[in-house]
Structure 1
Amino acid sequence: MKFKARTLTSPIHRVLATAQNGLEVIRFGGLDTGEIESPFTVVEQRPMFRLRRYFPDAEDMDTRAPVILVPPLMVATHIYDVTREQGAVGILHDRGLDPWVIDFGSPDREIGGMTRNLADHVVAVSEVINIVRQHTGKDVHLGGYSQGGMFCYQTAAYRRSVGIKSIVTFGSPTDAVALPMGITVGAATKGADFMADHVFNRLAIPGWMVRTGFQMLDPVKTVKSRLDFLMQLHDREALLPRERQRRFLEVDGWVAWSGPAIAELLKQFVVHNRMMTGGFVIDDRLISLAEITCPVLAFVGSTDDIGTPRAVRGIRRAAPRADVYEATLRAGHFGLVVGSSAGTLTWPTVADWVLWHEGKHGQPGIAKPMTDEDQPAADGDYTVMSRLVNSASQAAEIGFGVAQDVVDVTVGAAKTTKEIAGEAVRTLPRLARLGVMQAHTRMSLGLLLEEQGRRAPLGELFLFDDRVHTNAAVNERINNVVRGLISLGIRQGSHVGVLMETRPSALATIAALSRLGAVSVLLQPGTDLTEAIRLGEVAGIVADPPNLPDAMKAGVRVFVLGGGENRDLPVGDADHVVDMERIDPDAVRIPDWYQPNPGIASDLAFIVFTRSRGHTEPQFITNHRWALSAFGTASAASLTASDTVYCLTPLHHPSGLLMTLGGAVAGGARIALTRSFDPSRFAEEVHRYGVTVVSYTWTLLGELVDADDLQIQRHHPIRLFMGSGMPRALWKRVRDRFAPAQVVEFYASTEGEAVLANVSGAKPGAKGRPIPGSANIRLAAFDVENDRFIEDERGFVKEAAENDIGLLLAFPRTGGEQSPNVIRGVFRSGDMWIPTDHLFRRDSDGDYWMVDNRNSLIRTARGVVYSLPIEDALADIELLNIAVAFGVEHGAHSLAVAAISRRTDVTSPERKAKEFTPEQFDRALSVLPESQRPDIIYSVDTMPMTTWYRPQTRALAADGIPQASVNAWYYDTADHKYHRLTEAARKRIMKQANS
């Protein structure tokens, strides 16, 4: 009978208990566990935060190390105190530490909360560090969960680790390449970019939506946990131990997320991946995680689908100067900080880590140095597919029809692989714009900057002196300069000199003249300006204060711009020197003739100057020519808004104007300006600015690869070097020194709009192939001995065969470029071509190789010798730094001479002991016909260079035939080998040159 009574009353008991507990859940949101929060006091309250100090009445506070915990934006602060016994603050306090927690509050309940951005939070964390240090007199240990950990990294970089003894993060991603649930970067970037620009600039996410989104990351697990709770609702004792954790996840653990903060996270982390590359902006300052120097412990959840292990381990590469450790747990994203694993492993390990760095404990057992190599999945770790399979099996057990949803997710993930094939589409709008451009099409630098400002006014345009300048700010400055120029009588078509160092005012001046429709005549500081002013027909000069004295000597009006407010300007004629900074742009009347950006493709836009054969020569650049270089560079280098282009050459150099400035503007990339090229500053600015692309000219990068103290880290952000004129020997060394970065070499003709690019980089030394949208080109068969075209029986010019040397001809696509060098009737009646001065050959793959300039051929007694093939062949000698070939006139003919310099970056004793040997020359030059090998090779200590790092072959040739020495060698035609140059051999060679 007793047995039967129990069976009758037990169901009734379960029903009553379920009803009673269910009513409590309905009325109060959960069960009363009887637990109380850990005691705390609010030490400081400010608009951005309230700072909690837990267990403030502990007697031994002076001996405890302070630990500051930072929550993520969408999670409530008490994530660190879900339970007293298993929560973070309780365990850290019990282990002898002093826990502090930042409370950002719920943005939808704070004044101005919904306008907060990420930078506001980083600055707030930095302020908290100062407050805690003032209260305790000690440096702090900084910890953060998920995005809170990202704040910790950014704050440490912002402060350059000052006042921070160590950092501990939990599931905090740094590398956006490893996105949650296997989402592809291409798909995520496009979606995140759109959402940041068009959705979250207007909307925020309320707390309930944050909660729902988190739960939907694993909907099956969410449904299963709710069913488990309902099935055990009758058993209060079984539910109480996990009740506070359940309530946190189900009810009160989530807060709203402000729109600007979401947009900035999407832009900086997902779209641009600046946590890895550097160059993100905090309080108008540019910073990089490479500036973190304090120790880091990163907790990795092997089953974490949000802060995936690969994304979390990115901190090792992003912060190469820090000692980075990891602690890997079999836990998901939430389980790293809340739950049984957190209580028994996470927080005790954190305590041991802090005490270790306080000198009171040994190294935690599970904290291991993080390595650079990708970590294989631990036994039992989830992959995306195993996660889906596991979820599907759970769905089957529960009996809900969600398996189809899981299949849909799998199919969707597979579809995202198609994004890879869509990357090529990115360049099509640029090429299409070039393709439809005609002589009358509106096009100019000013126009592109205006368009970019309309698309993304808050987008970052250029970086200078650790500051960022937005599109809106730059366009406002440009328009103000335009008003100032108008007030000074500058009109459309005026030729105005620009004599300025690389600085924001220089960019604004060049862009303002473009917007006005005037011509920028770019003058080189520190040179004789007389000839350039005459050739450029300059009516006035815009100068910065350092160049004002030289500008005043030019005999034209001078307009001073830039240099800050406190400037000591030379006293002069008020009508001759005008301080543009004193002009009130709002007081300038805009004339009716002014139309912003009136320039068309065929208009002259810029005049730059080069030195050739001892003379100053102008290069006249139309808007079309500038656009061709700009869009061509952006396409060939695949420049996007995620790139930061480091301009090592000044804006008055053709490379800086056409390729760097033009390519960055056309590609929507950021431009990092530097005052001057300085290898000692290079590494610092690369990491801080997040430089992904570096511009160069000629041998400029040689100083970088030779620098002994170059502090560039192994995991630098540079992906590409782009420029022109780099010797093949240096090209190979740059790739080795900065691997995995590649080199894109460009060639652009002075006239004719021929532009080539070696995009693949597979053939160092080659100029590559024509970029889409540039001029049609052909190689005309050319008789170099007589300096004339080779004609067929009908009198038309023959086209050079494969690997034969010919003169490069260009046919502009727009037909808008006028040149006095146009020739007609070349390959057929009535055709029109513009000849360049460069001789090329085209290999079997269609790649073009420059062999020489028609005006600098080496005319020896045995025939013409080409210089560039000699330099390319010598590049295979390991000890070689730079090689240049040139002709030295002697009597009726010239001698082919090669000057070489030795690398200075060799460090091993074995390599230092090595010297150039004749056998090295024999091997390297064996690829050339005997008639194309240099007569003499000699070594120089220092290779003379121009201002733009181009070897000065004219200066070397002026020194005459090298003297006999142990560092000079000659080619013996008798045994077909090189030997040391003796005085007897030198006389014999000179005699042969005279014959």
Structure 2
Amino acid sequence: MLFSLITAAAAGLAAVLTVQKLFYPYFWDDLIYYMKLQRVKRMMKLRMRHGVITLLDCFVQQAKKIPNKPFIIHEGDLYTYQDMDKRSNKVAQVFLQQGSLKKGDIAAVLMSNEPDFISVWFGLSKLGCEVAFLNFNIKSKSLLHCFNSCGATTLVVGADLITSLEDVLLTLQNNGINIWLMEKSSTFQGVNTILDKLEHASDDPVPLDVSSQTNIMSTFLYIFTSGTTGLPKAARISHLKAVMCLCFFQMCGATSDDIIYVTLPLYHMSASLLGIGGCIELGAACVLKKKFSASQFWNDCRKHNVTVFQYIGELCRYLVNQPKVAGEMDHKVRIAAGSGLRPDVWKDFHDRFGKIKVVESYGLTEASIGFMNYTDKTGPIGRAGFFNKCIFPFDFVKYDLQKAEPVRSDQGYCVKIKKGETGLLIAPVTSMNPFLGYAGNKELSEKKLLRNVFEKGDVFFNTGDFMMQDHDDFVYFRDRTGDTFRWKGENVATTEVADILGVLEFLQEVNVYGVSVPGHEGKAGMVAVVLKPEHKLDGRRLYSHLAEHLPAYSWPRFVRVQASLDVTETFKQQKGRLVEEGFSPSAVSEALYFLDESEKTYIPLNKNLFDAIVSGQIRL
């Protein structure tokens, strides 16, 4: 009897497992991922009950637990968790003694990837300041806009970046901005120095009443994100959002024994919150690179025994496009974690560099919505199954490209798409998934919200991203709405580029957009222009003007000269046909030009040049 029961139970279990494998092949992957997330949530709640509430609290706790563990390795220098804790205490003490900053003030940081970026960040945070990370590629107009939008009254600038401020230094000072330079002395009038004062500063923690932070929903950071409005937007990052980022590397499978290589700029959320924050959560060591170098990458990995590295899609493509050399698989890297990896590059990366587990993910600076591909499937950004939706609620809805808004039913509600269709990703705004908005711009903040989506009174965050969920619940990124396109791992706002080009004396009208280029992630910048009467396109003048005012990733790679620009009846520029025709001489009858960086000018784009670009002989 017992044997019969055991046999029947075994047969039943085998049948269930067979059905599960046929119809829910990723059930166990999803369940394990869900359980990991639940464990992380329990750890967060337990820590908070013991007073460890913020990212900074987590760092200070690790500095006490593992004081002598290597934390930051940079250009031959090694800083332990205790070293960085004391260094950041010194930074806080300097500003406290000078009386220039207090709890609640907003301070901006303009620094390259270096250990003192972190000590300044943490030092300012220990004073209870809200910190704004500035993109060191931005030029004068955008930089001034950043200060106006976030309300920063203090700027800490790295020694290697002070010269980039020369044209706006006086304006900043006249606007009441206190400027501090990470140097012992300065030749710039009115600029304060920090390093000389650090030598004599105490490394004791600042008093608790100065920095105590209890509201986890308050602003921790301002991280600037580019959008369709043209100029950078200051996204408010709450302490809750920062703490939620801590588990990134842990969810990817990294441990405290790993050595993690971060080459992305720290002003990005990916490098600062996911990268540095992820290392802190694990108590792992971080090899911090000032700037990514494809040619030095694997040598660095071997030199520092790197086991995990963080990427964006472009980074992996650069590695794949490097000339093959002996010993490319001679490394200890076991995990590559990041976002934006194209499926074809993904496969080439695997084939060329060995058994490295690629963990592709998707996330946003402004909201707590994300996906992670924790399976072995190549291509998708993550899973959208039942378990994932329990943690990060989301929906995909139909979108009208002509009206640039979600499709609404006769009852006025958004329409969900079916599996296999492409739709707009949206996420409910709740107490645990808040949208704090953009500093200094309520109108732009409101534009990111969708109201009365599925029922009266509900509010959803509009990601602006098109996704497709297949029948196995894998999610694939398709495109972005609006005028923003992505190139070299950066978002480029077409209106900002158009504003800069619009002041050139020989251009009458400009229309900036992105075009696909075979073999490259994202879209390269292209501009359709109308020349002023009696003027010609001055390629050298165009190049120098762009170099002066915009970072290189924003420069249009192609120029199309037209007699007039297509506009709608409300005088909005039309881009659809331009994007479709791209930069092909066979599809475009007007004159085309290509950016020749070696000659610092734009040259005529003919069929031979086009073929060389498309075939990969010429890399952009």
Q: Same fold (TM over 0.5)?
A: yes
Structure 2 letter corresponding to 1:458: N
Match of 1:672 among 287, 290, 296: 287
| Number of residue equivalences | 482
Query: CA shift at 1:768, angstroms?
Result: 4.2
1-structure distance, mates of 2:151, 2:297: 37
Q: Does 1:808 align with 2:425?
A: yes
Query: CA shift at 1:786, angstroms?
Result: 2.5
Match of 2:259 among 624, 644, 648: 644
2-structure distance, mates of 1:773, 1:436: 21
Alignment of 1:74-153 (within 5 A): none
Q: Does 1:832 align with 2:459?
A: yes
> 1:796·1:826 contact (CA, 8 Å) conserved in 2?
yes
Q: Does 1:723 align with 2:338?
A: yes
Secondary structure at 1:449 match in 2: helix
Q: Does 1:546 align with 2:156?
A: no
Alignment of 1:832-981 (within 5 A): 832-856=459-483, 880=519, 884=523, 891=566, 894-897=577-580, 967=610
Secondary structure at 2:414 match in 1: coil
Change in 2 beyond 3 A, CA 1:887/1:473: closer
> 1:802·1:841 contact (CA, 8 Å) conserved in 2?
yes
> 2:237·2:436 contact (CA, 8 Å) conserved in 1?
no
> 2:339·2:361 contact (CA, 8 Å) conserved in 1?
yes
- Residue in 2 that maps onto 1:76: none
- Residue in 2 that maps onto 1:470: 80
2-structure distance, mates of 1:944, 1:424: 50
> 1:602·1:817 contact (CA, 8 Å) conserved in 2?
no
Secondary structure at 2:577 match in 1: strand
- Residue in 2 that maps onto 1:452: 62
Query: CA shift at 1:885, angstroms?
Result: 8.0
1-structure distance, mates of 2:465, 2:33: 35
Structure 1 letter corresponding to 2:577: S
- Residue in 2 that maps onto 1:823: 450
2-structure distance, mates of 1:659, 1:944: 36
Q: Deviations over 1:329-361 (max 9, x none)?
A: xxxxxxxxxxxxxxxxxxxxxxxxxxxxxxxxx
Q: Does 1:523 align with 2:134?
A: yes
Structure 1 letter corresponding to 2:179: V
> 1:782·1:806 contact (CA, 8 Å) conserved in 2?
yes
- Residue in 2 that maps onto 1:370: none
> 1:887·1:895 contact (CA, 8 Å) conserved in 2?
no
Query: CA shift at 1:755, angstroms?
Result: 1.3
The one of the two structures with greater contact order (alpha-carbon pairs below 8 A, sep at least 6) is 2
Q: Any gaps of 5 or more consecutive residues in structure 2?
A: 1-30, 438-444, 486-512, 529-564, 568-575, 615-620
- Residue in 2 that maps onto 1:384: none
Query: CA shift at 1:513, angstroms?
Result: 2.1
Alignment of 1:301-320 (within 5 A): none
Secondary structure at 2:394 match in 1: strand
1-structure distance, mates of 2:92, 2:484: 47
Secondary structure at 1:625 match in 2: helix
Query: CA shift at 1:780, angstroms?
Result: 1.8
> 1:680·1:710 contact (CA, 8 Å) conserved in 2?
no
Which structure has the greater CA radius of gyration?
A: 1
Secondary structure at 1:479 match in 2: helix
Query: CA shift at 1:757, angstroms?
Result: 1.8
2-structure distance, mates of 1:600, 1:817: 16
2-structure distance, mates of 1:449, 1:469: 14
Q: Deviations over 1:683-722 (max 9, x none)?
A: 2221121111111224133332222265654231111222
1-structure distance, mates of 2:136, 2:203: 32
Q: What is the identity percentage for the equivalent residue pairs of Structure 1 and Structure 2?
A: 18
Query: CA shift at 1:551, angstroms?
Result: 5.2
Alignment of 1:256-267 (within 5 A): none
- Residue in 2 that maps onto 1:605: 220
Give me the TM-score of the superposition, normalised by structure 1. 0.43
Change in 2 beyond 3 A, CA 1:588/1:459: closer
1-structure distance, mates of 2:410, 2:377: 39
Q: Deviations over 1:654-689 (max 9, x none)?
A: 321132112222233221101222233322221121
Question: 883-892 or 456-465, which moves further after superposition?
Answer: 883-892
1-structure distance, mates of 2:240, 2:326: 40
> 1:683·1:711 contact (CA, 8 Å) conserved in 2?
no
Q: Does 1:622 align with 2:238?
A: yes
Query: CA shift at 1:607, angstroms?
Result: 1.5
- Residue in 2 that maps onto 1:537: 151
2-structure distance, mates of 1:740, 1:599: 44
Match of 1:655 among 270, 277, 292: 270
> 2:260·2:285 contact (CA, 8 Å) conserved in 1?
yes
1-structure distance, mates of 2:69, 2:204: 28
Q: Deviations over 1:770-823 (max 9, x none)?
A: 868863111122222333333334332221111222211112451544344333
Q: Deviations over 1:171-196 (max 9, x none)?
A: xxxxxxxxxxxxxxxxxxxxxxxxxx
> 2:89·2:204 contact (CA, 8 Å) conserved in 1?
no
Query: CA shift at 1:535, angstroms?
Result: 2.0
2-structure distance, mates of 1:533, 1:635: 35
> 2:90·2:204 contact (CA, 8 Å) conserved in 1?
no
Secondary structure at 1:546 match in 2: coil
2-structure distance, mates of 1:653, 1:638: 22
Q: Deviations over 1:369-390 (max 9, x none)?
A: xxxxxxxxxxxxxxxxxxxxxx
> 1:679·1:710 contact (CA, 8 Å) conserved in 2?
no
Alignment of 1:378-393 (within 5 A): none
Alignment of 1:471-510 (within 5 A): 471-489=81-99, 490-510=101-121
- Residue in 1 that maps onto 2:411: 794
> 1:610·1:617 contact (CA, 8 Å) conserved in 2?
yes
1-structure distance, mates of 2:34, 2:419: 30
Change in 2 beyond 3 A, CA 1:773/1:520: farther
Query: CA shift at 1:425, angstroms?
Result: 7.0
1-structure distance, mates of 2:311, 2:379: 15
Structure 2 letter corresponding to 1:692: T
Change in 2 beyond 3 A, CA 1:487/1:599: farther
> 2:379·2:476 contact (CA, 8 Å) conserved in 1?
no
2-structure distance, mates of 1:621, 1:746: 19
Give me the TM-score of the superposition, normalised by structure 2. 0.67
1-structure distance, mates of 2:365, 2:319: 29
Structure 2 letter corresponding to 1:496: A
> 1:883·1:898 contact (CA, 8 Å) conserved in 2?
no
Q: Does 1:558 align with 2:168?
A: no
Structure 1 letter corresponding to 2:233: E
Q: Any gaps of 5 or more consecutive residues in structure 1?
A: 1-420, 859-866, 902-933, 946-957, 970-977, 979-995
Kindly report the root-mean-square deviation, in angstroms, between the aligned alpha carbons of the 2 structures: 4.3
Secondary structure at 1:615 match in 2: coil
> 2:261·2:306 contact (CA, 8 Å) conserved in 1?
yes
Query: CA shift at 1:898, angstroms?
Result: 7.5
Q: Does 1:754 align with 2:381?
A: no
Query: CA shift at 1:641, angstroms?
Result: 0.4
2-structure distance, mates of 1:717, 1:848: 30
Q: Deviations over 1:272-326 (max 9, x none)?
A: xxxxxxxxxxxxxxxxxxxxxxxxxxxxxxxxxxxxxxxxxxxxxxxxxxxxxxx
Structure 2 letter corresponding to 1:544: G
Query: CA shift at 1:432, angstroms?
Result: 2.7
> 1:769·1:847 contact (CA, 8 Å) conserved in 2?
yes
Question: 523-532 or 500-509, which moves further after superposition?
Answer: 523-532
Query: CA shift at 1:895, angstroms?
Result: 4.0
> 1:641·1:667 contact (CA, 8 Å) conserved in 2?
yes
- Residue in 2 that maps onto 1:269: none
Change in 2 beyond 3 A, CA 1:649/1:792: same
Secondary structure at 2:209 match in 1: coil
Structure 2 letter corresponding to 1:656: A
Query: CA shift at 1:558, angstroms?
Result: 2.1
